[in-house]
Amino acid sequence: MTVMKSPIKKSIIEALRARCRSVKDLKDIVNKKYPELSSDAVRKRVSRYLKELVKLGLVEERDGEYCWYIYINDLKDREDYDVKLNHSREMIPALRQIAGITLARDTFGPDEYIDENLRYLEKGAEDHLMSGYPDVWNLLTDYREEKEKVKHRRNLFYSALMEKMRKKFEKETILEPGKEGRHQSFIGNNIPSLIRSRIQYGSPSRLHLDDDRIWLDKIMVAKGKHLFTDIEDFVERETEDEINIIMVKQIEKIRNKATEIGSELEQEIGKLILRIKSGGPLLGGCEICPIYFSKTKKK
């Protein structure tokens, strides 16, 4: 997402980055620079560009005036501004990580390196969101809560199926396929997740034998020819079980909600990254802020 650099829009951006302006101020500035334009043309362009900049999150209305997201007069001096902006640019990879925004490595700009201490930058980015962007912080909190709910419900589902498996195959070892070692036979602990997948996507079970190994489609689930019929019955029965179907639908419903919140979070953090790239340092503070956090603590 980029900001179009038309001459008139560029003039409006430069004016707003200097200080907050009223609509009349902006019209006067455009009139002065482009006297050939009619008053109606100036009005329409100022209105259109302001709406676009507000939608992008680069401009906000404050007490009847339009202001750049953060402008240099908000800060003590130019040095403070540059330091804060550089610090904010270092946060871009962490913000992307938090929002789940992924980019090919060769698309990163010179100010968007992957720091070896990314986890510290993530903590700093979270502090900025919590102190400077309560709405975005709430989105992040809700997103993580919904993801945790999905994980909890899924684990309950898997645990219940594992308990059934242990009772059904009490004489067999249950372990991770591929780590069978010298076991003559075993039951794979991946069967519950495969059953969930079958319920979710409505695909029939396709168990087959290859030598002494039992496969569900292309995934090994057990070892031992004598287990084939019992595993086939178990998978089919649990896939059709009404309680299992209800649980999987509940998991999917929560997961969809998490995905929806995650998309909104990604969009909002994308706007923050755009603001940083457009010269607007992050609001709030964190423990690794070079200037602002220390000043805030002294107050």
CB 262 within 8 A of CB 74: no
pLDDT at 265: 95
pLDDT at 7: 85
pLDDT at 294: 40
Extents of the domains making up the chain: 7-68, 76-299
297 pLDDT band, cuts 50/70/90, is: very low
pLDDT at 5: 55
Element (H, E) at 56: none
Residue with token string 């992040």: 140
The token duo for 39 is: 């008053």
pLDDT at 157: 96
The amino acid present at 65, given as its one-letter code, is E
pLDDT at 205: 64
pTM, to two decimals: 0.68
pLDDT at 79: 62
Higher pLDDT, residue 111 or 37: 37
Higher pLDDT, residue 220 or 111: 220
pLDDT at 71: 52
Could you give the CA distance from residue 230 to residue 227 in angstroms, rounded to a whole number? 6
DSSP bridge pairs for 213 = 210, 223
**CATH architecture of the domain with range 7-68:** Orthogonal Bundle (1.10)
Could you give the CA distance from residue 125 to residue 121 in angstroms, rounded to a whole number? 6
Least confident of 80-84, 124-128, 228-232, 267-271: 80-84
Strand, coil or helix: 114: coil
